């Protein structure tokens, strides 16, 4: 069998292009939960939580064993069982989600977006899949926005107009998207419609959110008024879209406004309180302060779908996003690795850390200190103090200078 696994739409498996029957929704859920770990073992308890949440049947373990057995027979998969849990290893090129991410890293956005067939993980139902589906949707939106920037810079504004109009209708509060539509209209010679769209967005933001347009959107408006059609300098634009419902937090936003050569700010609070929304709102309204680009990473400190992201992986991805062709081998904390940060103008880090020890977290297995302290300490020394920039962190636990 030569299998391909489709997650970016209804879950499906194909063998040489032909759809293979993989059973009902819970059996498909087991397959996806294993695939997403990319060869890492998944403990049985975690699998049960991912597939059923709090609605596991009375004999859930026996049912799970049956699903795994059927998947082995149907697909010929080598699903290993060990004390650490179940492990499924396949080549990343066999999974459309992993191909999508690889294309995005290579800035091949059209190829990446062409892999989507609808809503990711369509038909899978559990709280874990709901959260994951929302996260994947955010990845798709970020790729669409980056693709739009590339297309506009390449002079494909006329071709992009229909798609931009549709996306704006679907996400009327996305100011980056509004700016892209305005720029496409301007480059197509339709300044009047571009200016009308700006006024529509301005009124909507004022009426619904009590806010003014962000500085980048205002800048595009001024460029159109001035007749400036020069494309912006290319750079990484990795920030997720801001939350459209954000309001208030004036005191916290003011506290984030301090300046300096390097400012590292930690935003703490319990899960769901709005840390990420606050940081995103501030970051999007200060994009003009960091013209060389904005970087984003989720360090997955308390991510149910993956282990914490090691610093070496993050630095490599940042360097690739910045267009660095020669990446130091091993990314040791020497002059070469630290010097690579000289091209970074602004860094946005989203770090959600666990509030209690977890058996599944490699930082917690030693049980010698809280997980966030262990994870935080591994990041010391990665940001040189002479590079102008800004780093925002969000954490479910209180971060001290020693730990962050």
* CATH code for position 33: 1.10.10.10
Within a domain: 383: yes
Domain with 219 in it: what CATH number? 1.25.40.10
Cα–Cα distances (Å) from 182 to 164, 186, 196, 253, in that order, read 9, 6, 9, 28
Q: Is residue 381 located within the same domain as residue 259?
A: yes
Round to whole Å and give the CA distance between 171 and 180. 13
Task: Report the 3 state secondary structure along 142-177.
Answer: HHHHHHHHHHHHCCCHHHHHHHHHHHHHHCCCCHHH
What pLDDT was estimated at residue 354? 31
Round to whole Å and give the CA distance between 293 and 239. 10
Residue 82 main-chain phi, psi, to 5 deg: -145, 170
Q: Is residue 63 located within the same domain as residue 14?
A: yes
Contacts of 309 (CB under 8 A, 6+ apart): 297, 298, 299, 300
Within a domain: 231: no
Within a domain: 37: yes
Within a domain: 142: no
Residue 307 backbone class (left: φ over 0; alpha: ψ -120 to 50; beta: rest) = beta
Domain with 291 in it: what CATH number? 3.40.50
pTM higher than 0.95: no
Q: Is 70 exposed, middle or buried (0-12, 13-18, 19+ CB in 10 A)?
A: middle
Q: Which residue range(s) make up the domain with 325?
A: 250-395
319: helix, strand or coil = helix
Within a domain: 342: yes
Count: domains in the chain: 3
Q: Is residue 221 located within the same domain as residue 275?
A: no
Pairing of strands 347-350, 295-298: parallel
Within a domain: 232: no
Q: Is residue 270 located within the same domain as residue 389?
A: yes
Could you say which DSSP state residue 231 is in?
Answer: P
Round to whole Å and give the CA distance between 253 and 267. 11
What is the Cβ-side half-sphere exposure of residue 366, based on CA atoms within 13 angstroms?
Answer: 10
Within a domain: 126: no
* Residues 184-202 pLDDT 10s: 999 999 999 999 999 999 9
Within a domain: 238: no
Cα–Cα distances (Å) from 205 to 173, 176, 192, 219, in that order, read 7, 13, 20, 16
What pLDDT was estimated at residue 331? 52
Q: Is residue 388 located within the same domain as residue 268?
A: yes
Q: Is residue 268 located within the same domain as residue 347?
A: yes
* Residues 355-371 pLDDT 10s: 333 333 333 333 222 22
Contacts of 187 (CB under 8 A, 6+ apart): 152, 155, 157, 229
Q: Is residue 198 located within the same domain as residue 255?
A: no
| CB-CB neighbours of 402 under 10 Å | 9
Q: What sign results for the dihedral spanned by CA atoms 370, 374, 375, 380?
A: positive
66: helix, strand or coil = helix
Q: Is residue 255 located within the same domain as residue 175?
A: no
Round to whole Å and give the CA distance between 349 and 294. 10
Q: Is residue 91 located within the same domain as residue 58?
A: yes
* Residues 22-75 pLDDT 10s: 999 999 999 999 999 999 999 999 999 999 999 888 899 999 999 999 999 999
Residues in the chain predicted with pLDDT less than 70, given as ranges, are: 229-235, 241-245, 258-263, 272, 288-289, 291-292, 301-306, 323-389, 393, 397-404
What pLDDT was estimated at residue 165? 97
Task: Give me the numbers of helices (H) and strands (E) for the chain, helices first please.
Answer: 15, 9
């Amino acid at each position: 069998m030569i299998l391909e696994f489709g997650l970016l739409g209804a879950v499906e498996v194909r063998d040489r292009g032909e759809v293979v029957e993989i059973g009902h929704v819970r059996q498909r859920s087991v397959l996806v939960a294993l695939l997403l770990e990319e060869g890492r073992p998944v403990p049985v308890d975690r699998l049960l939580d991912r597939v059923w949440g709090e609605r596991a049947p009375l004999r859930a373990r026996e049912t799970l064993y049956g699903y795994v057995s059927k998947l082995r027979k149907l697909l010929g998969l080598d699903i290993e069982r060990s004390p650490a849990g179940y492990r499924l290893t396949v080549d990343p090129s066999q999974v459309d989600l992993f191909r999508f991410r690889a294309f995005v890293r290579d800035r091949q956005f059209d190829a990446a977006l062409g892999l989507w067939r609808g809503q990711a993980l369509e038909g899978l139902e559990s709280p874990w899949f709901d959260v994951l589906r929302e996260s994947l949707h955010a990845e798709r939106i970020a790729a669409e926005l980056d693709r739009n920037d590339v297309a506009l810079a390449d002079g494909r504004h006329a071709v992009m107009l229909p798609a931009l109009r549709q996306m704006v209708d679907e996400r009327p509060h996305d100011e980056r998207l509004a700016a892209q539509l305005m720029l496409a209209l301007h480059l197509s010679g339709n300044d009047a419609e571009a200016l009308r769209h700006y006024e529509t967005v301005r009124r909507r933001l004022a009426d619904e959110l009590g806010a003014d347009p962000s500085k980048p959107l205002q800048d595009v408006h001024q460029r159109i008024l001035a007749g400036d059609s020069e494309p912006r300098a290319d750079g990484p634009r990795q920030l997720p879209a801001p939350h459209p419902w954000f309001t208030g937090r004036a005191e916290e936003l003011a506290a984030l406004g301090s300046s300096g050569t390097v400012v590292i700010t930690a935003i703490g609070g319990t899960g769901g309180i709005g840390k990420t929304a606050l940081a995103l709102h501030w970051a999007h309204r200060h994009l003009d302060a960091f013209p060389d680009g904005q970087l984003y990473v989720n360090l997955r400190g308390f991510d149910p779908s993956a282990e914490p992201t090691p610093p070496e992986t993050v630095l490599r991805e940042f360097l690739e996003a910045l267009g660095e062709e020669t990446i130091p081998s091993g990314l040791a904390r020497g002059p070469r690795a630290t010097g690579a940060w000289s091209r970074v103008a602004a860094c946005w880090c989203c770090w959600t850390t666990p509030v209690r020890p977890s058996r599944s977290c490699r930082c917690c297995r030693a049980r010698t200190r809280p997980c966030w302290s262990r994870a935080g300490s591994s990041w010391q020394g990665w940001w040189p103090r002479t590079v102008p920039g800004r780093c925002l962190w969000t954490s479910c636990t209180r971060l001290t200078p020693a730990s962050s």
